[in-house]
Structure 1
Amino acid sequence: MPLLLLKVNRLSAVFWDVDGTLADTEMDGHRPAFNMAFKELDLPFIWDEALYNKLLAIPGGLRRVKLHAEACGVTLTQDQLHQVRDRKRLYYLERVRQGHVQLRPGVRRLLQELHHAGVQQWIVTSSGSASVMALLEQIQKQIPSFDGVVTSDDVASGKPAPDGYLLALKRSGANSAASLALEDSAAGLSAASAADLRCLLTPSSWDAATLRDAGGEAAAVWDHLGDPGHPATLFSGASCQEGSVTLKYLETLL
């Protein structure tokens, strides 16, 4: 019986979201890139931080643009939406390469710990492949390689649909009961839960207050993963003495 318990509690795979979880991509990466695309294409939109914070409740950048435009009384054609997507992508890649996008606290430490322990690590994101690969290219010297990547280009529906997680589980061969998702948003939490994955939330500072009380489905909610000298704050779930999310802590959430 003790051997069975040990086997059940051993973590086999961690699935990482990207935007807002792995790195602070939204406010200093995607938002200004959208604004530059809007300006270039003569569209009457400027997304400041307060507005963008509200718009982040809409999963998917292109859908975010479409619904915001409609709310402003502007109907964008499919061609215009594709132009926004293409120009925004170029501006975002430029900002990533210029170093505007940084890893969140504790990410590098936990990635390395899980890698050394032989835990599979996958990216599961609603972002497109080009944006994800640009970020990985920029940070590849800081972190171990991922075992696989699932982006919006690989599935029919992005988060909150579970498609990305279900595909990652299939490709990795991991058991959902021995795996965890790391997310920062309600949409990500819904996607993970629908794929029968336990989920640890590290909401970004701009939506931490919302998820502090709305993360009931989450196994735990922290403000970040924690680093030496920079302990994390627990919002809900099991605590840990170290003030940092570790492999040992993740296994207690299974």
Structure 2
Amino acid sequence: MALLLLKVNRLSAVFWDVDGTLADTEMGGHRPAFNMAFKELDLPFVWDEELYNKLLAIPGGIRRVKFHAEACGMTLSQDQLDQVRDRKRLHYLERVHEGHVHLRPGVKRLLHELSHAGVKQWIVTSSGTASVMALLKQIQKQIPSFDGVVASDDVASGKPAPDGYLLALKRSGANSAASLAVEDSAAGLSAARAAGLRCLLTPSPWDAEALRNSCDEAAAVLEHLGDPGQPTTVLSGASCQEGAVTLKYLETLLSVPDR
């Protein structure tokens, strides 16, 4: 009896989101940094975890500030928004340096496995370059170096627009059909898909919206990437028998018919 063999494609590049994907930056990093900036600038906003969870549906920190201010009946000038951005950035960098931001489960392990296999690894994020570089500096002894970074400063439109991913594909020379994005949010998933990339979604614990509405667009949805003693749970897509996302698992996702 003839056996039907599934052809597994070789993975050439992985494009990583940062906030909520590489590391838990939001609740312990960005949120308190915004609150400190609001207090310094005498703005009547306090973002608790419940409120910030809702605001995370809006990609980009300053866009969140503008949206929330308008919802509160305030119109902030560009100068005020710039001041919030600058003060918040300083406080975020301080929190990163103080160790308040940690890698998500499985990230360190998978980064090293992909690096050893010669897979290109790029960052594609809606955060500014300064914030990304501060995080990378803090964790540089734990992880291999990335081949490149595309941040919000590099493109005209952030996620869910595909601009960042398209630029990363161009700069890296990677073939979209042999590449994957790793994201945690609905906006990031939309950006990756619009750029022609399959996407592995690992929703942040607080991003229920991405989990609820985006499963059909993702190649797979997992609780996290998994580690020894901390196996992941597959929420949608191909089973992960090892309990952890590996190079072999990612290459399996490339072979699944696109949705």
Structure 2 length as normaliser, TM-score?
0.94
Give the Cα–Cα distance (whole angstroms) in 1 for the partners of residues 204 and 231 of structure 2. Answer: 16
Tell me which amino acid in the other structure corresponds to 2:247: L
8 A contact 2:184–2:210 mirrored in 1: no
Gaps of 5+ in 1: none
| 1:216 counterpart SS class | helix
8 A contact 1:212–1:236 mirrored in 2: no
In the alignment, what sits opposite 1:9?
9
8 A contact 2:29–2:96 mirrored in 1: yes
Q: What is the deviation of 1:216?
A: 1.0
In the alignment, what sits opposite 2:91?
91
Root mean square deviation, CA, Å:
1.3
Tell me which amino acid in the other structure corresponds to 1:194: A
| 2:236 counterpart SS class | strand
What is the correspondence of 1:1-254 to structure 2 with a 5 Å cutoff? 9-208=9-208, 210-254=210-254
Give the Cα–Cα distance (whole angstroms) in 2 for the partners of residues 103 and 184 of structure 1. Answer: 13
8 A contact 2:106–2:227 mirrored in 1: yes
Tell me which amino acid in the other structure corresponds to 1:51: L
Q: What is the deviation of 1:207?
A: 1.5
Q: What is the deviation of 1:208?
A: 3.8
Give the Cα–Cα distance (whole angstroms) in 2 for the partners of residues 247 and 106 of structure 1. Answer: 12
Deviation string 1:42-85 (CA, Å, 9 cap, x unpaired) is 00000000000000000110010001000001110000000000
Deviation string 1:120-144 (CA, Å, 9 cap, x unpaired) is 0000000000000000000000000
Structure 1 length as normaliser, TM-score?
0.96
Q: Which runs of 4+ in 1 moved over 4 A?
A: 5-8
Q: What is the deviation of 1:215?
A: 2.0
Q: What is the deviation of 1:213?
A: 4.6
Give the Cα–Cα distance (whole angstroms) in 1 for the partners of residues 237 and 6 of structure 2. Answer: 22
Q: What is the deviation of 1:184?
A: 0.1
8 A contact 1:33–1:92 mirrored in 2: yes
Give the Cα–Cα distance (whole angstroms) in 2 for the partners of residues 19 and 116 of structure 1. Answer: 24
Q: Structure 1 residues 121 and 7, CA, compared in 2 at 3 Å: closer, same or farther?
A: farther
Q: Quick one: percent identity of the two aligned structures?
A: 86
Q: What is the deviation of 1:6?
A: 9.5
Q: Figure out how many residues of one structure are paired with residues of the other and give that number.
A: 250
